[in-house]
Structures are given as structure tokens and as C-alpha cells.
């Protein structure tokens, strides 16, 4: 376990923020936000924070709720320090509890070492960096829910910031990154995320073992993943596979319900397409519910 932890920590220390190009199938499964205004293109949304109306600017566009980074950061923590790094094209936010990096055009926020996935990429408009509220508020330790009756977005403070990864998560990253590499090493990043989602969805299901290792090596009904049989599971994962494992584990389920996948060009059996509901195709893999 100690050696495994060293491998994971060494790999994570080498990871930097990176652009992720995701296709329409990757559309975020964010809870639909309510509408407060009549503008069909850019609507205003009512937001409350611990029962008090949020005083800053809020926009609703294409089902995603947006707030300006600086304004929200200073509301969440009046001592927050916000710096723009023009060389790296990113904003860095620092508080006593949070280290946050936001880059326009990139759907990943790096918050206390975690990779938080946005439903859409942060964007700059009139010299202000707008960020999806649900993801940004999570970085600052808020839970975000929507009340369609209000209508309003409800933020509830749970902590001063999202918690950093604990050492107990190293085992999950270790195994998830390996099955992603073995099954989808040559696939695009979103294909790696989809394989990771299959594993995580099985962990969360009552029909499968409740650990990443248990799901990968589950053989109660026969071998579930060929790499555990042919030894490919021991292949050292590349950085993208480690990133995909972290993004999968750091976020709510990215694709709810997908629990099976196969490459129809090389599959020994086609029982999955015959028995399961087709969801989508990414690269060489078909995914099923």
C-alpha cells in the first residue's frame, strides 16, 4: 500500500490543468435550473445563500447558472485573493482554506488538488470571468440545490472549502487509472471518462461490489473486464488515464446509469447489445445502461 501511495502521489504531482475537448454526448447532467426572468437567451436566476438572497450578479444561459468569479469569491470569503496570470491564462483564487485555479475555455476547476468538472467551460465577457455556479460554489464548500417552485438556487454552507483528497483515496485512483489505461488507453479523454463512469456506477449500484477493486476483479458471473485476465491491468497508466480517474472520482456520476461497454470490433460476445439499453458511442466503445 505504501508503494502504491507513492506511485499515485508522484503521478498526481505531475498533473497540470489541461484543455478538455468534449463532444455533445458529454453534455452535463446538471439538475435543470429554474427560470426567473423572461429573457429567453440570458435569464436571471434567484439565488439564496443560507436563507439570504445572494447580492451578486447571476445569469442563466442554456440551462447553466453563471456567476462572476471575483464577485462570488469575495462574497464567499471577504479575504479571498484573486490574481490573473496572463502568461498561463488562468485565475488563481486563494483563501485560508482553498487554492483554486480557473482557466477560461477549460471545463476543469482545480480546487485543493481536486478536479471539479463544470457543465460548461468558464468564459470571459467584458473583462469578467464567468464560472458555472454549481461547480464554483462546491469549491467554496457550498451544497447547491434547485427549487423549481421558488424558483431559486439554494446554496448551503457545509464547509470553508472542498476537502482535499485523503490518503484513503489513493487506492481507488490506483486501480481506476489502471483499468482506464488497460481498456481505453488509446481512446480520447472523454472515452476514458466514460470507462471510469462505468466502474463508478457499478460501485454505486447494489448489483455489484461496492469498491473499485471489487468491481474490476468481480468474477461471480465470469470475468467482467478482460485486462484482469490477460494481465493488461498491470500496465502503468498514462497521465490522461490518471486525470480521468481523478475527474471520475472527484465529481458526481458524469453519466448516470451506464454500467456496460464493449468494443464491437473485437468483442468475443455480443450479449451486452442484445440485453442492455444502448446509451452512446465514444471512439471504439459502445456504452450501455
Q: What is the pLDDT of residues 225-271, one digit of tens each?
A: 999 999 999 999 999 999 999 999 999 999 999 999 999 999 888 99
225 C-beta neighbours (distance < 10 Å), count? 21
Through-space distance between the first and last CA atoms of the chain, rounded to whole angstroms:
33
- Using CA atoms, how far apart are residues 134 and 37, in angstroms rounded to an integer? 19
The whole-number pLDDT of residue 149 equals 74
Q: pLDDT, tens digit, for every residue of 87-108?
A: 999 999 999 999 999 999 999 9
pTM for the structure as a whole: 0.84
| pLDDT at residue 4 greater than cutoff 60 | yes
| CB crowding 79-105: b at 16 or more within 10 Å, else e | ebebeeeeeeebbebbbeebebbbbbe
DSSP letter for each residue of 98-152: -EEEE-TT-SEEEETTEEEEPSS--EEETTEEEEEHHHHHHHTTEEEEEETTTTE
Find residue 47's DSSP bridge partners: 153
Helix (H, G, I), strand (E, B) or coil at 61: strand
Sheet with strand 64-68: strands edge to edge: 59-61, 64-68, 128-132, 123-125
CATH, range 31-157? 3.30.457.10
Q: What strands, in cross-sheet order, belong to the sheet with 152-157? A: 52-53, 47-49, 152-157, 142-147
How confident is the model over 149-167, as pLDDT tens digits? 767 899 999 999 999 999 8
Percent of the chain predicted with pLDDT > 90: 78
d(CA 159, CA 118): 20
* CATH code, residues 167-288: 1.10.10.2520
Q: Where are the domains of the chain?
A: 31-157, 167-288
Amino acid at each position: 500500500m505504501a508503494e502504491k501511495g507513492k506511485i499515485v502521489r508522484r503521478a498526481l504531482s505531475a498533473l497540470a490543468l489541461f484543455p478538455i475537448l468534449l463532444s455533445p454526448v458529454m453534455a452535463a447532467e446538471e439538475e435543470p435550473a429554474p427560470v426567473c426572468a423572461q429573457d429567453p437567451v440570458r435569464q436571471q436566476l434567484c439565488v439564496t445563500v443560507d436563507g439570504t438572497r445572494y447580492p451578486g450578479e447571476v445569469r442563466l444561459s442554456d440551462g447553466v447558472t453563471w456567476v462572476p468569479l471575483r464577485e462570488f469569491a469575495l462574497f464567499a470569503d471577504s479575504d479571498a485573493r484573486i490574481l490573473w496570470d496572463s502568461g498561463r491564462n488562468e485565475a488563481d483564487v486563494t483563501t485560508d482554506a482553498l487554492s483554486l485555479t480557473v482557466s477560461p475555455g477549460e471545463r476543469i476547476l482545480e480546487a485543493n488538488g481536486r478536479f471539479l468538472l463544470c457543465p460548461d467551460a468558464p468564459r470571459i465577457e467584458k473583462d469578467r470571468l464567468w464560472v458555472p455556479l454549481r461547480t464554483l460554489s462546491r469549491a467554496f464548500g457550498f451544497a447547491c440545490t434547485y427549487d423549481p417552485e421558488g424558483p431559486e438556487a439554494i446554496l448551503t454552507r457545509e464547509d470553508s472549502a472542498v476537502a482535499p483528497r485523503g490518503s484513503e483515496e489513493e487506492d481507488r485512483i490506483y486501480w481506476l487509472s489502471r483499468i482506464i489505461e488497460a481498456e481505453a488507453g488509446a481512446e480520447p479523454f472523454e472515452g476514458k471518462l466514460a470507462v471510469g463512469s462505468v466502474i463508478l456506477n457499478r460501485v454505486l449500484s447494489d448489483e455489484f461490489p461496492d469498491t473499485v477493486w471489487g468491481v474490476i476483479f468481480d468474477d461471480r458471473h465470469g470475468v467482467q473486464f478482460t485486462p484482469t485476465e490477460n494481465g493488461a491491468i498491470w500496465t502503468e497508466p498514462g497521465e490522461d488515464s490518471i486525470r480521468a480517474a481523478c475527474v471520475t472520482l472527484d465529481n458526481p456520476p458524469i453519466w448516470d446509469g451506464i454500467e456496460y461497454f464493449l468494443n464491437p470490433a473485437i468483442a468475443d460476445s455480443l450479449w451486452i447489445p442484445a440485453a442492455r439499453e444502448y446509451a452512446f458511442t465514444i471512439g471504439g466503445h459502445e456504452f450501455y445502461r
